Structure 1
Amino acid sequence: MLKRTSPSRGPGSPEVTGFYEKDSGSIQYVAADPQTRKAALIDIVQDLDPASARTSMDSAEEVLRFVEQRDYAVEWILDTHPHADHLMAAHWLKEKTGAPMAIGEKVHAVAELWRDLYHMPDAFDPDACFDRLFAESETFSLGSLEGRVMFTPGHTLATITYVIGDAAFVNDTFMHVDFGSARADFPGGSSRQLYQSLQDILSLPDETRLFVGHDYGTDEREEPAWEATVAEHRRRNAHIGTEIEDAAHDEDAFINLRDTRDKKLGLPDRMLIALQVNLRGGRLPEPEADGNRYFRIPANRL
């Protein structure tokens, strides 16, 4: 698995290593405080073969091997939202490390929406499945570093950004600068909310490193990329950059651009499996009478 490390810039700045999971285009992160060697695992993937519905922890195991090699102590297992394009590894990671699992408190609204879509009125209890449900502007510690939670909806109802020192993990809001922004057409999504979230992120200091949740390359760039600064996104982001001639330079133009693009996109092939796992913090459904686990797939709902 491809990985790259963004070094700490000094006191108050985490070292960030990204791991690229090719099948879903996901980037998983280890954010570490060099001073205390405490680390947070962010948006780590539980692997899934959609054709066979077979899961594994190969990607998460590789991340943990890296953590052990660096002699890091895992302090947090963080997810930015209930992902639609990959399964969370959070529960498995908690079993391996003992670290608490966290996500944003708006996951309650996503759980309510998907209880209806799956026709599972008693399913999904975020309070029981996660150790910490972060509120807007809530803070937390990563070793000697301070972390802060930003509510950045649009891609989903519950999407949050973790700001740790001079690094911000912006999930599925921004894509890399040459790709633009993430889709906003999933249940509960909103291109108008996404635009406001992008502006909120761009209000961070210019030198803040933004780490995105996915990359799929471009016609000009085959290698995945996932890091750029606030200043770089403000100037050169393909969808809203001030220096990009055909970018959307106001809210209405962005909404039109985003909605037009989203109408051409199909749903991720992992989505209907992923939500019923991720709303359980990465746990598969409970075994049924025969000892096997089964996914529930709604027909003709989406």
Structure 2
Amino acid sequence: MTVVCLGACLLGCERSPYSQASPDETIQTARLMVERGEASRLPDLIWAANEDERRLFTHLGRMLGSLQKLGVAIQAKFPQEVGELKARAEEAANKGQSTSLLSQMTQSMGPQRGNRRRQGPPSDAERSAFDDTLSNLFADPYGFLERSSERLSTVYITDNTAAVMWDKKPVLPPLGLAMKQETNGDWYIVIPTALPGISSAWPRSKEEYQVWGSLITTLDKTIIDLTADVELGRVTTLDEVSKRAGEKAFIPAAMVFYAFGQLRDAQKKEAAQSVTAPK
């Protein structure tokens, strides 16, 4: 019994830095997870609306852990290229530009002209932009958390809700990035599913959660393969890493997005038929 109690105490001491007792402590915990090489636990800090969403975040956690391992491998193999890329990213950030994957994904999911879906294969410019995004992501996946201690903060809205701030201004205006306190007292980041772009792509049914889970699993396998390629010297430059990632992931990812679109169209047709069907 003494051994069990001692083990529980040691486990509790080990986990004690991961506090979610306040909005600021939750943000600090995210930084600590990255610093400790436990990026796979970041989704634990995200509020899940249902069990399907929590399962999706579990898939995401595995991918984030793989991504961190790839970043370590890349920084060890290509230190000069990574240094140059970080310098460009910092310069862009100082100019108010964003090089983050989240920003570029949000832009790409936004309303398209005439609300038309893309017809035909992606253009060379789109593939190039995709590769550039991957280079930034792979080289320094969590650098923004490490560099944000002076710029990232939170402000209480009510006793159990808060807003995430960047340079004392709301993140993702006008709706913002919110945090909420659960009944257990812990604070969680809330995905802004009402934000234009995100709202149109966020899963609404079990089938759609499964499609997104398939996409994340595909990306995770790609990242694991790339890590092996880097460590074994199969790629010799960072640019080659991003291009190989594009080759491995772009088409499968596009197929998943297509499947998601087909599923969403089928759901709309079914909903329309149920409305017009005679009662």
**TM-score (normalised: structure 2):** 0.25
Whose RCO is larger (CA < 8 A, sep 6+)?
2
**TM-score (normalised: structure 1):** 0.23
More helix by share: 2
More strand by share: 1
